[in-house]
Chains A and B, each alone.
Chain A
Amino acid sequence: MSSSPPPSSAAASPSCPKKMIALRSSDGETFEIEEAAALQSKTLENMIDEDCAGTPIPLPNVTGKILAKVVEFCSKHAEPGVDDESLRAWDAEFVNVEQATVFDYILAANFLEIPTLLNLTCNVVADMIRGKTPDEIRKFFNIKSIFSPEEEEEVRRENHWAFE
Chain B
Amino acid sequence: MVFVKAQKSRSYFKRFQVKFKRRREGKTDYRARVRLINQDKNKYNTPKYRYVVRFTNKDIVAQVISATIAGDMVLASAYAHELPQYGLKVGLTNYAAAYCTGLLLARRVLKKLDMDEEYQGNVEATGEDFSVEPAESRRPFRALLDVGLLRTTTGNRVFGALKGALDGGLDIPHSEKRFAGYNKDGKSLDAEVHRKYIYGGHVAAYMNMLMEDEPEKYQSQFSDYIKAGVEPGSLEELYKKVHAAIRADPNPKKPEKKAPKEHKRYNLKKLTYDERKQKLIERLNALNAAAGGNDDDDSDEDDE
Partners in one complex: no
Residues in A lying within 8 Å of B, measured CB to CB: none
Residues in B lying within 8 Å of A, measured CB to CB: none
